[in-house]
Amino acid sequence: MNRDDRRALADGGETEPEHSFESGDGSHHPGPPRFVTVEEGIVDPNGNEMETRDDLAPWNPDADGTYTWRVLESPNGSSATPTDGPVAEFEPPPPGEYTLALEAPDGTHELTVRAFPEVDETEPRPQVELDATVSKTKVHLSATATVVGDGDPAVEFYVDDRNADVLETDSTFPVSAIDEPVRVYAVAVDERHSVPDAIDLVPDSDRTDGPTITVERPFEPPEWAVDAIVYEIFTRRFPDQEDPTFETITDRLDHLEHLGIDVLWLTPFLDAESGFGTPMEHGGPHGYDTTDYFSVDPDLGTMSDLEALVDACHDRDIRVVFDLVINHTSDSHPFFEAAVDETHPDHERYRDWYRWADFDDGDADTYFGWDDIPNLNYSNPEVREYLLEVVDFWADKVDGFRADVAWGVPLSFWTEVADRLTGTKSEFFLLDETLPSDVEMGGGRFHMHHDDVLHDALEQLGESVTGDGANESVEEREVTGEQDGAVADEFTDSAVGLDTTTAEAVLEAIDDRKRRGAHADSRWLLYVENHDTDRYLSTYGRDAQLAAGAVTFTLPGSPMLYYGQETGVRGRRDPMNWNAFDEDLLEYYQRLIDLRKSHPALRADAGLERIEYETDTDAAVAFARTEQVTGRRIVVVHHFGEGSATVCLDEPVDPIDLLTETDVSDGVDDSGKRSLSVETVVILECQ
């Protein structure tokens, strides 16, 4: 099957990428230096659900090329060597710095691997922010390293191996040494090592006052995504069910525009086994089992219809994010059918496109018993080459990717994808689904991550407030089959270690980002529900849904609405209730969105601060948000219980709730503490 055969499209639409994409400098160099522990190494095992994985791989792979790996330099006493094959694994005891060599068709490429000692993973990870000051003659690197607790992290600097002949690793060097862009990395080291940070040093030799250097931050998200409000639709359930197509989705975009939505996340719309007619016991028409990566589901329309939908979103200043599903295919994908059919002329070739639990028996490697979606084999350069074509093709049609089951794909591939796309389209956006979330997905891979820690805290708060939720715990719902589907909610509890019996858990979830060592540029998607969970409304009730929804609009991050959350849809993947909106619920979310957009202290980068408050219920929590530039400050109080709670604040606040424009004060006592009556949430301006 040649490249043109792979791109058999639905009628209409563009068939070639507008841009010419390449990774890095276009060579086969395997990318940035690696920072690992000797315990984890660089490995990509079968199975291991929910664990991120990695490998050593050439960039811009050529399926017909020959690639081999070897060790050039290693610490004394090391006998570690990469595994055989073009895509290799490497387990590097003892700790220290290794230099590996990739022999590729375009020459020899060196790669630094820094291996740190084994660690206690209960210890907090440090964070580091790299910067540089530039004078007329010198560049000086500086880094701010922090860690939760009383540690004092050291910092190590590394120059990208592709620039090693331009610049030696040092903290100070002359401007004249940099005559081409150079990327420098910093890693903080304490009990554990940090996710690396990076800056690009870009020479500007055209200045009339002499050459100078511009410092750029390559891991920053596109500006449009920083404060975005996201809306996820289950693509085949959102439009009118009499004629569910791209065109009828387009007809409903006014609803999103009126709400104030910035980003539309479309669940898969490619040709898939689970199209229209898939029963709910099999997850409904979810589309997460692709049968053709270059063709849209013809029941939804043509490629031209999809492009018209995207254009209509752009006309409303709404960006479009595409659900990229490249961990696995459907077992009815032509490649897999060839892989298991010994009579197929390409049988041997396509057997190597998939991972196998038992190669001889044709038993594919899958996760969670999802036997109908076999995992692709990223140790095969031809698979990587093909999937980069998929990435290139869709990157020119949408504004960003949400990577499904991102944890199942090697980190090295996501690093290449991020470099490939943001190097050509600086405004392209990347969101990962990694459950439990892994901070390694930040720092040059994804801009935003599902905040599963906050989500699980909200679930458990809902359960504790309502007693038994829907008569089952979160864990029980996960194993009963109620969540059955292609990508069911079978993930472990990410709020482990948090006290989820009190509303303070929502603040602990935010603090947890720092404890885990999240990259400073990482952004977080805050959600109450999505296509993999039951509806919060039907599980925990209306009051709890109002409270949980408000949390996602008042804490640092990007709030997300799952279609129908704002209109009262009760079934996980039910059709949108276009003719039966809960108008009061809709007005509530409209007010949250309007306030989130209008008040600077609710923006993603506004500071979050714990404050003193008194209440007689564990179901209430209060905190402050402060916008750093103007100093505008608000106090937010959430209540997850039934009825109203009384909360007393030390902070001097205006008694008028910004959300409802009503007076929520029960008076001020002799000490100046203001007493508030809080049903679900109040947001007050500080005096």
Residues annotated as catalytic are: 404, 433
Torsion-angle region of residue 56: left (phi > 0), alpha (psi -120 to 50) or beta? beta
Give yes or no for a contact between 672 and 637, defined as CB atoms under 8 angstroms apart: no
- 451/552 Cα distance (integer angstroms): 10
Omega before 94 within 30 of 0, i.e. cis: yes
Residue 308's φ and ψ, nearest 5 degrees, are -65, -35
Lay out the sheet containing 645-649: strands in order across: 613-615, 645-649, 674-678, 665-668
Which of 18, 63, 3 is CA-nearest to residue 392?
18
Give yes or no for a contact between 681 and 659, defined as CB atoms under 8 angstroms apart: yes
Distance of CA 33 to the CA centre of its chain: 22
- 601/684 Cα distance (integer angstroms): 11
The CB density around residue 456, as the number of other CB atoms within 10 Å, is: 23
- 240/244 Cα distance (integer angstroms): 5
> What are the residues facing 678 on neighbouring strands?
645
> What are the residues facing 636 on neighbouring strands?
623, 683
Q: Which residues contact 73 (CB under 8 A, 6 or more apart)?
A: 97, 98, 99
Q: Which residues contact 3 (CB under 8 A, 6 or more apart)?
A: 389
Strand stretches in 248-394, DSSP E: 263-266, 270-272, 290-296, 319-324, 356-358, 363-364
Torsion-angle region of residue 47: left (phi > 0), alpha (psi -120 to 50) or beta? left
- 33/403 Cα distance (integer angstroms): 23
- 426/435 Cα distance (integer angstroms): 27
Q: In what helix (H) or strand (E) does residue 583 lie, and over which residues does it extend?
A: helix 583-598
Give yes or no for a contact between 232 and 531, defined as CB atoms under 8 angstroms apart: yes
Which of 618, 602, 624 is CA-nearest to residue 260?
602
- 117/191 Cα distance (integer angstroms): 9
Give yes or no for a contact between 569 and 233, defined as CB atoms under 8 angstroms apart: no
Pairing of strands 429-432, 400-403: parallel
Q: In what helix (H) or strand (E) does residue 460 lie, and over which residues does it extend?
A: helix 452-466
Burial status of residue 121 (CB atoms within 10 A of its CB: 0-12, 13-18, 19 or more): exposed
Vertex 455 angle, CA 517 and 573, to 5°:
135
Burial status of residue 434 (CB atoms within 10 A of its CB: 0-12, 13-18, 19 or more): buried
Give yes or no for a contact between 448 and 524, defined as CB atoms under 8 angstroms apart: yes
